[in-house]
Amino acid sequence: RTVYLNGDYLPETEARVSVFDRGFLMADGVYEVTSVLDGKLIDFAGHCVRLARSLSELEMKNPHSDAEWLAIHRELVARNGIVDGMVYLQVTRGNPGDRDFAYPGPETEPTVVLFTQSKPGLAENPAAKTGWKVISIPDIRWGRRDIKTVQLLYPSMGKMAAKKAGVDDSWFVEEGVVTEGTSNNAYIVKGNKIITRQLSNDILHGITRAAVLRFAVEAQMEVEERPFTIAEAQGADEAFITSASAFVMPVVEVDGKAVGAGKPGAVVTRLREIYLDEMRKAAV
């Protein structure tokens, strides 16, 4: 596999990063994951906007223009022959010297890494036909979940808790209400209404979320942005999650209780179709 590191396209075995990089020592860095369908990038503009914001919140320079980011993504997709899959992008702060809690100066060059993962048939994921089961666990993450940092240990623990429980994912609960999934935004459906938590520093501002809510409104569905409880999810007609890699994924069981009929419902099935159709059309 060919990876990108600081301006070079290299075999993955030759890409080397300093052990003093603050990404490695302090999880001081941000990332984006862009899906590729039919060799094209899904919602690329959305990822660029969020990347710029994450970097700015951490007082890091954006090392590239959006056009340069696009060129790097395309080059890597082409070199690796990716048809369906994803491009992972990471910018860490680098580090010219010793380990220090204070950030190094703005002259410090960040470390830019991109790589691809091939996932043939990504959009035809059979899990979308059966849906995910989730459990709930306490949300003990930090208070700036709106910044997409590489500090992913607790989400990893949440995914492991799900695996150990024999389910697909965990939903985080804070002060009695759901924040989001380990790596996705969470929704319930009641009748024609889609309910999902409002944006704040408590959740990641999913770019799939933004697109799906727009499509829902265009399809005459009602959208209510507010928190919901696990009990409300268990009593809902349908539930689902969204993320750039899972797209729109039905959730059919929450903490051992079936949601609705216990299988993917009409609303989530329709939203997934609309999302994939529209995003394929707009792919670059």
What are the residues binding ligand PMP (CB under 6 A)? Answer: 180, 183-185, 204, 206-209, 242-244
Asked whether the beta carbons of 212 and 268 are under 8 A apart, the reply is no
Residue 23, H or E segment: helix 22-26
Structure tokens at 120: 């043939």
Pinpoint the alpha helices (H) of 131-253: 153-164, 207-218, 230-234
C-beta of 111 vs 243, nearer to ligand PMP = 243
C-beta of 53 vs 263, nearer to ligand PMP = 53
DSSP 232-274: HHHTSSEEEEEETTTEEEEEEEETTEE-TTSS--HHHHHHHHH
- Beta bridge partners, 31, equal 90
Structure tokens at 33: 């994951």
CB of 261 to ligand PMP, least distance (A): 26
Q: How far apart are CA 131 and CA 263, in angstroms?
A: 7
Asked whether the beta carbons of 78 and 89 are under 8 A apart, the reply is no
CB of 178 to ligand PMP, least distance (A): 12
Q: How far apart are CA 123 and CA 130, in angstroms?
A: 14
CB of 32 to ligand PMP, least distance (A): 8
Long-range contacts of 5-9 (CB under 8 A, 24+ apart): 5/111, 5/112, 5/113, 6/109, 6/111, 6/112, 7/112, 9/75, 9/76, 9/79
C-beta of 54 vs 111, nearer to ligand PMP = 54
Residue 122 carries which DSSP code?
Answer: G
Tokens 């995003």 map to which residue? 279
CB of 146 to ligand PMP, least distance (A): 10
CB of 182 to ligand PMP, least distance (A): 7
CB of 267 to ligand PMP, least distance (A): 18
Structure tokens at 161: 């808790």
Query: Active-site residue 148, yes or no?
Result: yes
Spot the catalytic one: 148, 159, 190, 263.
Answer: 148
C-beta of 146 vs 235, nearer to ligand PMP = 146
C-beta of 86 vs 259, nearer to ligand PMP = 86
Tokens 């950030």 map to which residue? 103
Count CB neighbours of 167 within 10 A: 18
C-beta of 42 vs 77, nearer to ligand PMP = 42
Asked whether the beta carbons of 28 and 93 are under 8 A apart, the reply is yes
Looking at the annotation, which residues are catalytic? 148
